[in-house]
Structure 1
């Protein structure tokens, strides 16, 4: 496993992404929903890896939900950087990391694959995320 770090622009939120997949081999997904398009989102996940989101002050972490409301989109309240999405259903939280928020983002060089999830129902979306997203821990220390 290799570790990649990152976070938001102002430093309020930190990311630790652990993966066994080489960055140049990792599939990068570009969701085509209005939210992700507006953020220029490039997302990655390793179902065998892990993501840790660390924030000292929970008030600085904004959790945005829309659509089927099956995930929290994590955004820094101070600088506005979108850093990850975390499932909200079930006892096994899963996540994607936003590659643009990683320090070594140029290493994740594959062309993003445009993804359209509009046809999914709630159950299908949850099942896809459980299979393709990675385990996550959100640590709040303050």
Structure 2
């Protein structure tokens, strides 16, 4: 496994994305929802990888839910960087990482695939995330 580190601009939130996949070949998704398009989001996940999110001050972590309310979108309250989305809790937590928040983001060079999930039901969305997102944890520093 290779670890790709990153985080928000001010350093309150740190990321460690572990994957055995080559970042240049990893599928990058550009969600077309209004939240993601306004942020120029490029998301990635490796179902066999892992995302660890470390937070120095939880009061500075903005958790936003919208639409079907099936995931938490994580944004730093201070610097405004969108770093990840996470669904589920504990051992069932699954996530995507926002490639733009990684320190070595230039290695993730594959052209993003535009995706739309508006037609999914709540159950379909949860099932897709369980199968395509990666295991994740959020912990305090």
* Pairwise TM-score range, normalised by the shorter structure: over 0.9
TM-score by length of 1: 0.97
In structure 1, what is the Cα distance between the partners aligned to 2:135 and 2:63? 18
Cα RMSD after superposing both structures: 1.1
Q: Which residue of 1 aligns with 2:83?
A: 83
Deviation at 1:88? Answer: 3.4
Q: Quote the Cα distance in structure 2 between the aligned partners of 1:63 and 1:25.
A: 30
Taking a change above 3 Å as real, the CA distance of residues 9 and 98 of structure 1, as seen in their structure-2 partners, is same
How many equivalent pairs are there? 141
> How many angstroms apart in 2 are the aligned matches of 1:124 and 1:90?
21
SS of residue in 2 equivalent to 1:69: coil
Three-state SS of the structure 1 residue aligned to 2:24 is: helix
Unaligned runs of 5+ in 1: none
Partner Cα distance (1:23, 1:99) in 2: 10
Q: CA separation in 2, counterparts of 1:103 and 1:138?
A: 19
Instruction: Compute the displacement of 1:89 (Å).
Output: 6.7
**Alpha-carbon spacing, 1:39–1:75, altered in 2? closer, same or farther (3 Å):** same
Which residue does 1:19 correspond to in 2? 19
Structure 2 gap segments, 5+ residues each: none
Q: CA deviation at 1:140?
A: 1.6
- 1:40-67 per-residue CA deviation (whole Å, 9 max, x = no partner) reads 0000000000000001111011100000
Q: Is residue 2:80 matched to residue 1:98? A: no
The answer to whether structure 1 residue 49 and structure 2 residue 49 are counterparts is yes
Question: Contact 2:82–2:98 at 8 Å: present in 1 too?
Answer: yes
3-state SS of the aligned residue for 1:129?
helix
* 2:62 paired residue number: 62
In 2, Cα distance between equivalents of 1:106 and 1:91: 31
Are 1:4 and 2:1 matched, yes or no?
no
Deviation at 1:90, TM superposition (A): 8.3
Match of 1:47, SS state, is coil
Match of 2:37 in 1: 37
Structure 2 distance, partners of 1:64, 1:100, is 19
**Alpha-carbon distance in 2 for matches of 1:7, 1:46:** 18
